């Protein structure tokens, strides 16, 4: 009997930075929907492998593959592996992100190095994956790209604190809009989402939202029907201001 994992009808979803937190929960929720094979990616091979193993123990079709979004070589290696093994990319969730601003950081006392490292992961990481994997989506005329952003990147509600992180998420939103316009009408939908303040290592234990709540909108956007929104910014499945 053929394995479900080998069915050509199964969508392939790639989730970055997924060994824990929101990314891990996105993998779980995508896997539970059925008809989707999930590639859980992370920089740390031991943690990534353990995370994928845990989800497989829940009966989900999840496989780990190492990926450092801040490394051009790592992204090219990953894309080359997909190509060489004849795999598609139907869904890309750019979840990997860092918040490197020191506690209480302000623009005037921030360091350029913090900005560079933050943008390397939070903006250039998604850009690298998009450039490497959109060609695979175009082959099948289908794709869903979800950029995990933040309300801290909203120009409409910009405030003080974590300036490098805020700027990186604002830039990620700009990338979302620009890419969505470029890909309009080609079957590939591109959106940003804000998970809200979630109880994760980054969000802290006092955050009001669960990882299940934080992951829900990303999974919804990753599985939109044809004709769904593109170029939008969402929280709790509803559009929010840029």
pLDDT tens, residue by residue, 118-152? 999 999 999 999 999 999 999 999 999 999 999 99
Q: What are phi and psi of 221, to 5 degrees?
A: -65, -35
Q: In the chain, what is the straight-line distance between the N-terminal and C-terminal CA atoms, in Å?
A: 50
Fold adopted by 8-239: Rossmann fold (3.40.50)
Domain boundaries, the chain: 8-239
Q: Which of 51, 27, 39, 44 is nearest to 81 (CA)?
A: 39
The pLDDT of residue 146: 98
The pLDDT of residue 33: 93
Mean pLDDT of the chain: 93
The pLDDT of residue 206: 77
CA–CA gap between residue 44 and residue 182 (Å, rounded)? 33
Q: Is 12 helix (H, G, I), strand (E, B) or coil?
A: strand
* Sign of the four-CA dihedral 13, 17, 21, 22: negative
Name which residue leads in pLDDT, 36 or 206. Answer: 36
Does the pLDDT value for residue 203 go beyond 70? no
Looking at the chain, the whole-number percentage of residues with pLDDT higher than 90 is 88
CA–CA gap between residue 202 and residue 205 (Å, rounded)? 9
Does the pLDDT value for residue 200 go beyond 60? yes
CA–CA gap between residue 26 and residue 48 (Å, rounded)? 14
Looking at 64, 78, 115, 165, which residue is catalytic? 165
Is 142 part of the annotated catalytic residue set? no
Does the pLDDT value for residue 3 go beyond 50? no
CA–CA gap between residue 131 and residue 217 (Å, rounded)? 24
């Amino acid at each position: 009997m053929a394995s479900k994992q080998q069915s050509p009808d199964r969508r392939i979803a790639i989730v970055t930075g997924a060994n824990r937190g929101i990314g891990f929960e996105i993998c779980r929720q995508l896997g539970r929907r059925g008809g989707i094979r999930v590639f859980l990616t992370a920089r740390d091979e031991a943690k990534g492998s353990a995370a994928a193993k845990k989800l497989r123990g829940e009966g989900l079709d999840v496989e780990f593959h190492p990926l450092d979004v801040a490394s051009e070589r790592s992204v090219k290696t990953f894309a080359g592996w997909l190509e060489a093994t004849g795999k598609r990319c139907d869904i890309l969730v750019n979840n990997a992100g860092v918040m490197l601003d020191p506690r209480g950081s302000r623009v005037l006392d921030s360091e350029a190095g913090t900005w560079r490292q933050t943008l390397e992961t939070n903006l250039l990481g998604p850009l690298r994956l998009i450039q490497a994997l959109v060609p695979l989506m175009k082959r099948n005329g289908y794709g869903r790209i979800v950029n995990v952003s933040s309300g801290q990147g909203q120009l409409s509600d910009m405030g003080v604190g974590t300036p490098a992180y805020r700027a990186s998420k604002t830039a990620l939103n700009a990338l979302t809009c620009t890419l969505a316009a470029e890909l309009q009408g080609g079957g590939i939908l591109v959106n940003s989402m804000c998970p809200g303040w979630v109880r994760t290592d980054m969000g802290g234990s006092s955050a009001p939202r669960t990882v299940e709540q934080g992951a829900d909108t990303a999974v919804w956007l990753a599985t939109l029907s044809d004709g769904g929104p593109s170029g939008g910014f969402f929280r709790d499945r509803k559009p929010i201001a840029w």
